[in-house]
Structures are given as structure tokens and as C-alpha cells.
Amino acid sequence: MEDNLVTLAIHTFQKAQIIKTFLESEGIDVYLHNVNLIQPVVSSGVRIRIKESDLPRALLLIEQSDLLKEGQQLFEKKYPKTILIPVDFSDYSIRACELGFHHAHDIQAEVLVLHAYFSPYATSDTFVFNEAFNYPVAAVDNANLLQKKSQEDLAKFQSFVEQKIADKEWPDVKFTCVLKEGLPEEEILNSSKQIQAEMIIMGTRGKNRKDADLIGSVTAEVIDTVNIPLLAIPENTPFSKLSQVKKIAFGTSFEQKDLLAIDYLFRMFPSYPIQYYLFHLTHQPNVWNGIKLAGIKDYFSQQYPNIPIHYRIIDVNDPVLNLEKFVREELIDIISLTTYRRNIFSRIFNPSIARKMLFRTDTPLLALRF
């Protein structure tokens, strides 16, 4: 494979210069693109580019140095390496919680269990206004009751987790339970940013959901907005530990961002004996796809010679049906896809492959955004 340049990251000129100096001190050639030649110090959106062959080593060096983790120091003392697990106390969120605790134990992380509830200010058709404060007393009473019930439910769930740990059914991992009022998808996103979470693990009901849920699912909304890995666990997931995963399929569009995502995927499960399947969705196989697939194979055989990787071209005319068939034939445990920011109209009227897979399959979905 030709040693092309790939974009490692996009930053301000000052941050790009720091990373450039650091990588060059380690013997890696770095090129900055889109720099304002007249006023370079005010440049934003500077691309840090390196050779493809240097990508795995550069990513490892960057990760070890924490140069790309802005604001990490602000949360390091309060929140060390943390997995965020949103729960609604359903069976499928308990399933996700079990898997999250095992993974946290494997990577020596802590767990933040989050329950977010939405409380509409007015919940009654008839309001009794308090003259002093001019707000509907009935609505406030209902909101207080909802808050109290949410607190009680979370306290019961905390006791449930503590009992699981005491019975040694779940590993002894340090965890914190947090209750927040607001739209669940917004509170999950805000919490993930606040604690600099490593990843989010949350449950879904699986393919027995109604088609209408394709618009309103909290998990789908979080997938469309969050900037960290999110693992969606259907209620019928056959494994309770990520160490039991044998095969992961990753959807590639042959873009440079996929190289970053795939490298990150490999480093997420360094100690697990996993086989990886790279699949590409296309309307019909053609010569150009074959050339790009050959290049991908050559690149990964050189950069990751000890990782078993298989390749598959999948017809996109019915992507979900064909993916399900592929998953059944190859006994895939997790499907991993990169996601991209989409506006609200495209999310509603043209659901992404990730959203469709979320509701049409019982296979866990790992969403990555790069």
C-alpha cells in the first residue's frame, strides 16, 4: 500500500505545533495543513497529517502522553478512568450494567451509574396557583413526587448492585450512582463530557421494538450526538462479559477516518482473543472497491500482523437484512460502525445504518465517532 498521508487530528495552530514537536522528537514526520500563512497563530482547524505507516505508533504515543485529552486534569482527581452506564431499571439496562461492571474490572476503571428522568413542569389539566409565587401547585407536587420516586428507585438499584457484588456475581468495582433531572439523552451527553468517560454502555430492547421507536429512542439519540464509544446491549445478548466476545465486525467506507477508528477498536480489547471482520456496504462490487479493499488488506497485514482480520463486501440494497445474514453466517458477537453528525431532519426521515441496526437486530452495536 502506498504510504499516503492521513489526518491524525484537527486542532488550533498552537495545539498542532505542540503535537508536531512531540511526534517529531519521536522520529515521526508531521505535516500541518490549512495553516493561515499571514497569521498562523490565529489559525483554527489545522490538520495534523502523518504517514499511514506511522499511524499506529503515533496514536499510541499520543494516548500515552494525553496530549489530545483536553481538560483531563480538571476531572482526573474526581473521576479517574470511568465507564458511564445509564439505567432505567429495566431488565435490559441491568444486562448492560452487568457487562459494564465486568469490563470496568478488566480495564481497571470505575463506574458511574446514571439515572436521568424527565419531569414536565405541568402535569395536571387543572392548576391551583399559589398567590405568593404564581406557579401551579399541583404540577410542583407531582414533580416532587416524581423526584422522590426516582430517588427511591435509584437507591433500590444501588442496593441491588451492592448485593450482586457481595454475592460475587459481579466484580467488586468502585461505582457511584447519580440522579439527574432532564431529558435523558442530554443528561447522558453532559455527564459523559463532565467525567471524560472512556465509553458509554447502555441497554436496548432489541428487535422487538416498534418501528415508531426508531425516532424516539434515547440510545439512538445518544449515538447521534456523543463523541465517545457507545456500546448498545440488547436484552437478548448471549454474553455477560466482553472477554467472552470472539468476533467483531467493523463497517468500513474506505475513508481515512476508518483507520483511526479501527486502531482504536483494536486497542479497546488488547487482551481479548478476538477475530475482526471488516465489511464494506456497496450497491454492487466494482473494480475500484476491489482496489481499495486490496489496499486495506495490505495496510493491516503490515501494521497488525498478529491480529486475525477477515474481509467481506455486502450488498447495500437491503443493508440491515444482508448484515443480519452476515452476522448469522459468521457468528458475529458485536457490530461496530462509525457514526457522523446528522441534522434532526436526516435523523428522522433517513435513519442511519447504526439506528436501523439498533432496532432490527439482537446483536450488540459499538458506535465510534471520529
Alpha carbons 223 and 340: distance in angstroms, whole number: 9
Alpha carbon separation from 314 to 52, 61, 252, 340 (Å, rounded): 26, 35, 11, 20
CA angle 88, 90, 92 (to 5 degrees): 110
Alpha carbons 114 and 154: distance in angstroms, whole number: 9
Architecture of domain 5-69: 2-Layer Sandwich (3.30)
Is there a contact between 105 and 173 (Cβ–Cβ < 8 Å)? yes
Cβ neighbours of residue 34 under 8 Å, at least 6 residues apart?
43, 45, 46, 47
User: What radius of gyration do the chain's Cα atoms show?
Assistant: 23
Q: Which pTM was predicted?
A: 0.72
Assigned CATH for 242-368:
3.40.50.620
Q: What percent of the chain has pLDDT over 70?
A: 73
pLDDT confidence of 324, banded at 50, 70, 90?
confident
Domain spans of the chain, in order of start: 5-69, 82-234, 242-368
Assess whether the region 5-69 and the region 82-234 belong to the same CATH fold: no
| Crossing angle (nearest 10°) for helices 218-225 and 353-360 | 150
Alpha carbons 192 and 232: distance in angstroms, whole number: 15
Terminal Cα distance for the chain, rounded:
23
Average pLDDT over residues 88-114: 93
Most confident of 231-235, 285-289, 319-323: 231-235
Alpha carbons 251 and 337: distance in angstroms, whole number: 5
78-87, 153-162, 264-273, 346-355: least confident range = 346-355
Please give the order of strands across the beta sheet that includes 31-33. Answer: 5-11, 46-51, 31-33
Domain 82-234, classified CATH 3.40.50.620, yes or no = yes
**pLDDT tens per residue across span 175-219:** 999 999 888 888 999 999 999 999 999 988 644 454 444 434 788
Alpha carbons 35 and 44: distance in angstroms, whole number: 8
Most confident of 8-17, 221-230, 258-267, 327-336: 327-336
Q: Which pLDDT does position 42 carry in this prediction?
A: 43
What's the longest Cα–Cα distance across the chain? 76
Q: Which pLDDT does position 79 carry in this prediction?
A: 52
Report whether pLDDT(38) > 90: no
CA within 13 Å, CB half, 176: 13
Q: Which pLDDT does position 49 carry in this prediction?
A: 86
State phi, psi for 83 to the nearest 5 degrees. -105, 130
Mean pLDDT of the chain: 77
State phi, psi for 312 to the nearest 5 degrees. -150, 135
Of residues 370, 106, 111, the one with CA closest to residue 264: 370
Q: Which pLDDT does position 26 carry in this prediction?
A: 87
Alpha carbons 138 and 276: distance in angstroms, whole number: 56
Alpha carbon separation from 253 to 61, 224, 250 (Å, rounded): 26, 18, 10
Element (H, E) at 5: strand 5-11
67-76, 217-226, 269-278: least confident range = 67-76
Find where cell 487482551 sits: 271
53-67, 110-124, 126-140, 262-276: least confident range = 126-140
Q: Which pLDDT does position 347 carry in this prediction?
A: 40
The x, y and z cell numbers of residue 157, run together, are 438499584
Q: Which pLDDT does position 154 carry in this prediction?
A: 94
Q: Which pLDDT does position 348 carry in this prediction?
A: 37
The amino acid present at 359, given as its one-letter code, is F
Alpha carbon separation from 46 to 28, 36, 37, 39, 303 (Å, rounded): 18, 9, 12, 13, 26
Core vs surface per residue 326-352: b (16+ CB within 10 A) or e:
bbeeeebbbbbbbbeeeeeeebeeebb
Q: Which pLDDT does position 75 carry in this prediction?
A: 35
- 314: number of Cβ within 10 Å: 18
Q: Which pLDDT does position 128 carry in this prediction?
A: 42
pLDDT confidence of 293, banded at 50, 70, 90?
confident
Cβ neighbours of residue 286 under 8 Å, at least 6 residues apart?
none
**pLDDT tens per residue across span 139-156:** 556 677 888 899 999 999
Q: Which pLDDT does position 272 carry in this prediction?
A: 79
Q: DSSP assignment of 152-172, as one string?
A: HHHHHHHHHHHHHHHTTSS--
137-151, 211-225, 242-256, 277-291: least confident range = 211-225
